Amino acid sequence: MINHYMLSCSISQAITLTYSFGVPTKAVSKEIERIDQLFYTYADGSSSMIDPEGIETLCSHLEVPHTDVRILMLAWKMGCEKQGYFTLDEWRTGMKALRADSISKLKKAFPELVQEVTRSSNFQDFYPYAFRYCLTEDKKKCIEIPVACELLNLVLSLQFRPQVEKLINYLKHQNEYKVINMDQWMGFLRFCNEINFPSLDNYDADQAWPLILDNFVEWLRASEN
């Protein structure tokens, strides 16, 4: 005789083993296999990482410049720790989240990724990440002015072009600062979000802005006169 209880348990166990969050585990393993194969297409054999040369090749296949902000967004999505290098674990994290196991799928995922990053809550995480990602040496806490200008243009100009253009112009012509730290970097975003531009009528130097922004506002007002 058939033990219906045991049969029911066996079926339940089979379903549990076969499905993970509603996706067949065999399909999941195949997807990871394809993600890994894609990684090793670009990875350096000696380091088992995708290095700067591999990233450039990846970008050429994606048909985007390696300086495109979407590559920085991709690094953010993967949680990459070192500029210019993607590890296998980082790659898996990003590709699984984007449901991309091929170049064509990764291309199609870019618009959704851009929308995700530019949402206010996510941008508050992405913006400081962009700064940390550019710290190319261990224990480094600042980025050079030319790098800061390029990064500002990359991550902020889409939303705040007039402010960013003026800020970059100021940074390039001033002589007091050679590097930018995280506090100053975050101050730039706060300035763009909070200060009426170009009137600056709600800028209050007593609100504990970084000194560089006090100087920037003073420079702006002087240039208008």
User: Within this chain, do residues 114 and 200 fall inside the same structural domain, yes or no?
Assistant: no
Match 């000194």 to its residue by tokens.
211
118, 153, 174: which is the final residue of a domain?
A: 118
- Domain of residue 95: give its range: 21-118
- The count of other CB atoms within 10 Å of the CB of residue 162 is 11
**Same domain assignment for residues 181 and 208:** yes
pLDDT in tens, 150-167: 999 999 999 999 999 999
As for how many domains the chain has, the answer is: 2
Residue where a domain terminates, one of 95, 118, 141: 118
pLDDT 10s digits, 24-60? 567 678 999 999 999 999 999 888 999 999 999 999 9
CATH number at residue 186: 1.10.238.200
By CB neighbour count within 10 A (0-12 exposed, 13-18 middle, 19+ buried), where does 126 fall?
buried
How many alpha carbons lie under 13 Å from residue 188 in its C-beta half-sphere? 28
Domain of residue 109, CATH code? 1.10.238.10
Q: Over the stretch 165-199, which tens digit does the pLDDT of each residue have?
A: 999 999 999 999 999 999 999 999 999 999 999 99
Residue type, 92: R
Among residues 181, 96, 190, the alpha carbon closest in space to that of 144 is found at 181
